[in-house]
Amino acid sequence: MGPVRQCRIGPNFLKAAARRRHLMSKVNEYHHAGLIGGQPEADDKTVVAKIRHTEEGFSTAWLVTPASIWLILFLVIPLVSIIVFSFWENTPQGLKPAFSLEFYGEYFYTEGFFDVEAKRFLLPSVFIRTLGSTIYFTLTTMVLCLIVGYPIAFFLAMQVQAFKFQLALFLLCMVPFWTSYLIRAVAWLPMLGRRGLINQALLGMGIVDKPVSFLFYSEFGYTMALVQIYVVLCIGPIFFSLAKIPKDILEAATDMGATPFQIFREIIGPMSMPGVAIGMIFIFVVIMGEFATAVVVYGGKTSTAGTVILNYYGIANYPFAAVNALMLMLAMVIGIVVILRIVDIRKEL
């Protein structure tokens, strides 16, 4: 966990947070304009009355019942059965209940282990390597989404003053989500394909004499499509946490002679971290489980952890598919824990 600790929030952030809390206590009395600005505060009596009403009407147990039933039926039970299946045996007569670690071994095992001729240890098993390449593409996309998405969210929250324009532009960001996921992925072909727009332009301008093919069905095209499809997932949360920053603090900072860079480093950056973290978690979780884009945009030329699960599901080797699913889940949980250790969302919300 060494490098993780290094990534954790430095003293600057802590200072900024302390200062912010101090400022917040002062500015809390004001109402802010904007999408997420403070709500008009209710006087104490109504608040108390509301709480009472809730307590009398529905007890906590009742309130959590629907969600609990839902989660038990569609999350806990399937999850438990995946865990149970992962220990079963796959015999020629079909599945057989058992407690076998065979498929866990298979997941990690590499034949030969030590290559005598080359005098080196062999690579990790193909399944670990596949998980590794999935993580690689996920992290690359996360970084690119942050680079592309943060400025957009910043512009929306900080530069656009009128609420209705904020809302309109934010909805504009969501436009791609109005069409189905597959259409968004397939739509890259007319753009990046051999007979696509870019190739036509390059040919027309005489820059190339035959169509270039690195644009599509390539690592480049794949990463680009992932960023385009999923960047909105981080724009939203970042926008919301930026919009929550009281404008008064920024004004105060300017009045006291802080440069824009200082303001960003000391106030805006740290205060938008929860949004960044939530956005990154969204992207991380979605892309780790991704397999369709790899097929449509990368032409199936890479395997993701998701395609491995599908492949083994396809030959009815459910126990091994379950092992793969659990390993993917483990990697996702570790990833989320790491992100949450870098940023404490709870404290910031």
Nearest CB to other proteins, comparing residues 87 and 264: 87
Nearest approach in angstroms of CB 311 to other proteins is 6
User: In whole angstroms, how far apart are CA 326 and each of 235, 244, 306, 329?
Assistant: 30, 37, 11, 5
Candidates 2, 3, 66, 94; binder of other proteins (CB under 8 A) is: 94
Phi, then psi, of 187 in degrees rounded to 5 = -60, -15
Q: Can you tell me which residue has the tokens 């912010």? A: 20
Helix (H, G, I), strand (E, B) or coil at 115: strand
Question: Measured between alpha carbons, how far is 286 from 290 in angstroms, rounded to an integer?
Answer: 6
What tokens appear for 215 in the block? 């644009």
Nearest CB to other proteins, comparing residues 151 and 314: 314
Nearest approach in angstroms of CB 216 to other proteins is 7
Q: Which residues are CB-neighbours of 299 under 8 A, at least 6 positions away?
A: 217
Residue 293 binds other proteins, judged by CB under 8 A = no
Residue 313 binds other proteins, judged by CB under 8 A = yes
Residue 19 binds other proteins, judged by CB under 8 A = no
Residue 9 binds other proteins, judged by CB under 8 A = no
Nearest approach in angstroms of CB 260 to other proteins is 45
Residue 317 binds other proteins, judged by CB under 8 A = yes
Nearest CB to other proteins, comparing residues 276 and 305: 305
- Number of Cβ atoms within 10 Å of the Cβ of 123: 11
Candidates 71, 172, 299, 333; binder of other proteins (CB under 8 A) is: 299
What tokens appear for 96 in the block? 């057989």
Candidates 59, 179, 213, 259; binder of other proteins (CB under 8 A) is: 213
Residues 320-349 touching other proteins, rule: CB under 8 A, are 320
Residue 234 binds other proteins, judged by CB under 8 A = no
Residue-wise DSSP of 142-195: HHHHHHHHHHHHHIIIII--SHHHHHHHHHHHHGGGGS-HHHHHHTHHHHHSTT
Using CB under 8 A, list all residues that contact other proteins: 92-95, 126-127, 129-130, 133, 186, 189, 193-195, 213, 216-217, 295-296, 299-303, 307-308, 310-318, 320
